[in-house]
Structures are given as C-alpha cells and as structure tokens.
Amino acid sequence: MPSYKLDLKNRHRVYFDLLIISIVIVILTVIHYTTYHYTMNYHIMLQFAYYLPVIYAAMRFGLAGGILSGLLITVLILPFMTFFQTMTMTSSAMLTQWVEIGLTNGIGWLTGFLIEQERKATRKHQLALQIQKELVEKLKHESLERERLQSEIRQTERLIALGHLSAGLAHEIRNPLGIMKVSIQLLAQDKREDREVLEYCRVLQEECERLNRLVSEFLSFARPKELVRGRVKLGKLLAEGVSLIQPALRQHQIELSQTGGQVDDYEVEADSDQIKQVILNILLNAIDAQGEGGRILLEGIQPKDFVGFAVSDEGQGISPDVLPYIYDPFFTTKEKGTGLGLSVVHRILDQHGGKISVSNRNGRGTRVEILLPRCEEGP
C-alpha cells in the first residue's frame, strides 16, 4: 500500500479516537450536570467512569493524551463542584471529589508515562533487531568476500607455481621443437614428389605450430610482461582488432555487426598491445563459438567510471556447470583449446583495473563484457 494512503488512514484513526474520547467525556459530564440533585455517592461512582477515557487517551496518545484528557475533565467538572454542590456537599464530600479529580489526572499521567516508556523500549528493541539484521547481512557479505579472496589467493598461488615452472619448461620444449620443425621442412623439400610423405609433413608442421602456440600462451600467462601504459582511444584499439580477424570472419562466413558511438572517442590508459590481445582473444572465442555463418555483435558500453565493449555470439552458450571455471588455467571445453585464453584476458584486465563478465544470452549464445577504467577527461 502506498505511504500516502497509510498516512491518510492513520490520520483518520487519530481523528476518530479523539472524537470518541471527547464524546465519552462530554456525555459523562452532561450526566453529572443533569443529575446534580442525586446523592453524593452516585456522583462519586459516576466520576470513576472518567478513568476509562483518560486511560484510553493515555494508551493511544501517550503522556500528552493522559495529561490533556485529565485537564479537560478537571476544567469541565470544576463548575459542577463549585456552584452546584457547594450548598449540598459536606467538607468531607468536597475533599473526596478533589481526591477523585487528582486520581483521574494522576492515572492519566502515570498511564501515559508507562506507555511512553513501553514505546521507547519497543523502539529500542526494533532498533536492536535492525542492527542485528544489518550485522548478519554484513557478516554474510564479509563471508562471501572472504571466500572470494581465498579463491583469488588460491589462484594466485597456482599462478606463482606456474611461473616458477615455466622458465625451465619453455626452454626444454622450444629447443627440440625448433629442431623438429626444421627437420620436417627439410624432409618435405627432399620428398616433394611423395604426396603421402608431404601430407605427413604437413600434419607434423601443424602440430608443431600448435605446440609452439601453447608454449607461447603458457609463457604469456605465467610470465606476464611489464605494462607500457599510454592514453589511447578505445575505438582505435577495437578497429585494429577487428581488422586482424577479418580473414577468420570471411573463412567462417560470419557477419560482424559493430556499434560504437561515443565509446569510440573515450580514452583509456592502457598497454595497447595487451588490450589488443584481449580484444583478439574475445573475438576469436566468439568466432569459435559461432561456428559457420550467423552474426556476431560488437557494441560499445559505458557504465559509470568505465568504458568498454561487449561481444555477443549466436553459439550454443556455456553450460552453467562450466561457468565458474572458465578463468582457471588449462580449463577448456574445446577439442584443440589450450585453456589459457580467458585466463590471460582475466590477468591483463586485473593489471589494468578492469573487469570481465561472461553470461549466457536469453535466446542463444554468449555475451562477454570487457570494461576498463575511463580516463578523467572524456570526449
């Protein structure tokens, strides 16, 4: 229910209660005045009835309600005591009447005071419950944050171990790999007329190239280069990345739909080569996921303090069971994948203070968002 309707309902309730209290007090006072010739005991008993509106006023409006209702009764009953009963009441009866008036005001004040104390205690209790709820939520948030940090620490530890392993491993693999590649090329030259041998040589060369790419990606991931930062327009980096993947787009007959707008004119402070590597990785992943034909959407995005791009494909999407592991080194669902592409992207963006998010689209395919801190001076 809207708040203004609640306020209107509460206001009507207040007016109704005030009207009922006033009517009861007036009716009791009218009975006093119209039955002045009755016995004193009758008026004393009737005066007890004033406790009801006083107590209700105190319970409904607190200390102010108890005091004001008692004073109202006192003002209304004083003429009756002063003028109507002076000649017929004894001094003890007069004293009893004044005591009753005092009790009426005292009960109104005491009830109102106790109600105020109860309301304060209730408010304190509600405040304590609210603080307790906020603390529980904070603890939950801190627990989730601690789990996230522990996960990042574990990943960092794996990366450190990977870095120590990479130096010796890369040299041990690359040296014989180079010898194998040269030997295969020489064999292919000697056996140019033997188609079967040439086919074997071609397969061996492709596998050598793939192994060389794996070692290169491994080194790039485990031994990252120092950043060479500079201010550069995001649109320039995107244009260079798109131009490099044009052959792959034509080969797979994929249409690239690009929307940039103002995003192209924003500058980021970044290592151009590494951000181009990010762009290429994301676009090539989209091409792999797309398969043959269809359309890939490249659009600029600019949330608060960030600028970036989103790539959406029309592939099969990513299984929800797989999503938590896509940034882990060597985790891949591709038959010939290395499992280092998104890990390298994640590391580069961390170094730049950027963000990556991967999600499945509502219809079909995957959407990847890349964000980088925006330079203070915009377009």
Tens of pLDDT, residue by residue over 100-129, are 788 888 888 888 888 888 888 888 888 888
**How many other C-beta atoms lie within 10 A of the C-beta of residue 368?**
22
Is 161 or 191 the better-scoring residue by pLDDT?
191
> Would strands 295-301 and 255-259 be described as parallel, antiparallel, or unpaired?
parallel
With a cut of 50, say whether residue 39 has pLDDT above it: yes
Q: How far apart are CA 101 and CA 78, in angstroms?
A: 9
Nearest 5°: the CA angle 110, 111, 116 is: 95
Query: Is-above-0.85 flag for pTM?
Result: no
With a cut of 80, say whether residue 286 has pLDDT above it: yes
Topology (CATH) of 230-373: Heat Shock Protein 90 (3.30.565)
Question: Token pair for residue 72?
Answer: 């109202």
Residues 180-203: what's their mean pLDDT? 80
Task: Read off the DSSP letter of residue 366.
Answer: E
Tens of pLDDT, residue by residue over 315-370, are 787 877 777 777 776 666 666 566 667 777 888 888 888 888 888 877 678 888 88
Q: 13 falls in which pLDDT band (50, 70, 90)?
A: confident
